[in-house]
Amino acid sequence: MVNKPFSKEEQKELSYEDYDTFIVFKLNDEEFGVNVAQSLRVVREKEITLLPNSPFYIEGVVSYKGKVIVVVNLKKQFDFLNKEVTKELKDIIIIEGLENENFGLLVDEVSGIERILKSVVKPPSGAISTKLPKGFVEGVALLEKRLVIIIDPVKITMQKELKKTKEEKQVK
């Protein structure tokens, strides 16, 4: 879906560099996006093995291409559990982390992949950035009748608890 802040003639003049491509997903009724360049794959309804004594937002681990991947429950991470849960979490977005430490993001559902004009992505306002953990929000895409909050999933791997969980997983 192409955004329509420009006329058809103006859109024809735009080049590939004018867009970024995002995996768009839902948590409750909110839409979020992660850059495709950071994403390896979307897997559906994969069985998650619980990881005892892990931080509350770590759902567990899954096997992906022979590697054990830590799965982060974004509803817990973003404190969305106090809202009415409308759907079961079912899709996992596998993210390429720093130093080849891949991890998964557990979300309600992946809506699709969208090319979004860079010019419609605005810096996050204070209200949006204060509701989510510090540094996670890169911007907000202002589309026709909706907002897509663009997050930086790699910031999740920088958290002490997740690093500790990865280290414990490697010891086992």
Query: Tens digits of per-residue pLDDT, 134-166?
Result: 678 889 998 888 889 999 888 766 664 555 555
* 2 within domain boundaries: no
d(CA 28, CA 48) in angstroms, rounded, equals 20
Name the DSSP letter for residue 118: G
d(CA 15, CA 12) in angstroms, rounded, equals 8
Q: What percent of the chain has pLDDT over 90?
A: 22
Of the two residues 30 and 157, the one the predictor is more confident about is 30
Cβ(20)–Cβ(116) under 8 Å? yes
The confidence band for 38, taking pLDDT boundaries of 50, 70 and 90, is confident
* Percent of the chain as helix, strand, coil, to the nearest 5: 25, 40, 35
pLDDT higher than threshold 80 for residue 70: yes
* 92 within domain boundaries: yes
pLDDT at 23: 94
pLDDT at 2: 42
Of the two residues 1 and 29, the one the predictor is more confident about is 29
* 132 within domain boundaries: yes
- Phi, psi angle pair for 15, to nearest 5°: -110, 175
pLDDT higher than threshold 60 for residue 22: yes
What integer is the mean pLDDT of 12-33?
Answer: 85
* 3 within domain boundaries: no
pLDDT at 135: 76
* 1 within domain boundaries: no
Question: Strand, coil or helix: what is 12?
Answer: helix
Query: Tens digits of per-residue pLDDT, 76-101?
Result: 888 776 555 555 668 888 888 766 77
Of the two residues 87 and 65, the one the predictor is more confident about is 65
* 30 within domain boundaries: yes
pLDDT at 150: 93
pLDDT at 61: 92
> What value, to the nearest 5°, has the Cα angle with vertex 34 and ends 28 and 36?
135
* 149 within domain boundaries: yes
pLDDT at 36: 92
Range(s) of the domain holding residue 86: 8-171
- Domain total of the chain: 1
What integer is the mean pLDDT of 25-49?
Answer: 88
The count of other CB atoms within 10 Å of the CB of residue 7 is 9
* 54 within domain boundaries: yes
- What CATH number did the domain enclosing 50 receive? 2.40.50.180
